[in-house]
Amino acid sequence: MIFLCVAIIYIFLVILKLMEFTIRSRKREDVVDITEQIKKLVVGKKAEEGKAVLVYTPHTTCAIMINENYDPNVCIDILAALKNMIPAGKWLHDKIDDNADAHIKASIIGPSVVIPFENGKMKLGTWQNIILGEFDGPKERTIIVEIL
């Protein structure tokens, strides 16, 4: 009986723990493909648990987006386009932290995506990958996953 309780609590903790993970970005502006980590977290989850997967990052200078990563240049182009639109070093917040451009980019892309979910699988399109866009790295970043 005690063993059963401990086992249940352990499984519960593992499940809770599993729904969050960290990655490390390697440079100031970077992209990290987190599709496989999220697939592993949600595989085996039943329909009763929900119909969509929320992917969320609790930071203000990185963001979550969905796009192609078969050609890695797509994501490099996205970083370059954001840099063109939002040049660094000309903002009020730069006096304090010198990363205002990163905050602005993160606000435009947003901290979350919501993906339809069925039979333990996200309904990602053939070319869709889930990407963390880093705008003020290198940093350790947390990603929270919930089934809604």
Q: Applying CB under 8 A, which part among 4-12, 21-29, 36-44, 47-55 lies near a second copy? A: 47-55
54 scored as a contact of a second copy (CB under 8 A): yes
Exactly one of 26, 127, 138, 140 binds a second copy (CB under 8 A); that residue is: 127
Site for a second copy in 6-25 (CB under 8 A): none
- Quick one: which of 119, 107, 95 has its CA closest to 61? 107
Q: Which stretches does DSSP call E strand in 9-128?
A: 20-24, 30-33, 52-56, 62-67, 112-118, 121-122
Cβ atoms of 91 and 104 closer than 8 Å: yes
**27: phi then psi, degrees, rounded to nearest 5:** -150, 180
Residues in touch with a second copy (CB under 8 A) = 50-52, 54, 56-60, 65-68, 71, 73-74, 76-78, 80-81, 85-86, 91-93, 95-97, 100, 103-104, 106-116, 123-128, 142, 144, 146-148
